Amino acid sequence: MTNYEKAFVQALGKRVRSLRASKHMTRRELSLASGVSERYLASLESGRANPSIAILCRLALALDLTIEGLLVVDQQGAGSVTEGRFGTAQPRAASALADDRPKRQAV
């Protein structure tokens, strides 16, 4: 995993934890609502798990968000959707870590 990917996964974990807390949900409650185990949620929130699209879908649904809303993170990792649930906010961590992105080669 590249540094960019590690930073994004850590920021995503912080975002999930922040969203869960803002909805006054325990990890167990989010686990029951999403079908994702408490142990996996703990790994995700600590930045150790790299979730699949299916898990992101489950979490977004349980947190009453779109996937886009779930993925918007800031450089500190806590994240926020600045224009509401369907806003146009862009992931700011991506621009901050652009130099570490894998380079694409022309075909």
Residues near 75 by beta carbon (within 8 Å), at least 6 away in sequence: 11, 92, 93, 96
What local confidence, expressed as pLDDT, does residue 73 receive? 62
Q: How many CA atoms lie within 13 A of 33 on its CB side?
A: 17
Query: pTM of the prediction?
Result: 0.68
Q: Where are the domains of the chain?
A: 3-98
Q: What confidence tens digit (pLDDT) does each residue in 43-63 have?
A: 999 999 999 999 999 999 999
CATH fold group of domain 3-98? 434 Repressor (Amino-terminal Domain) (1.10.260)
Mean per-residue pLDDT, 12-29: 96
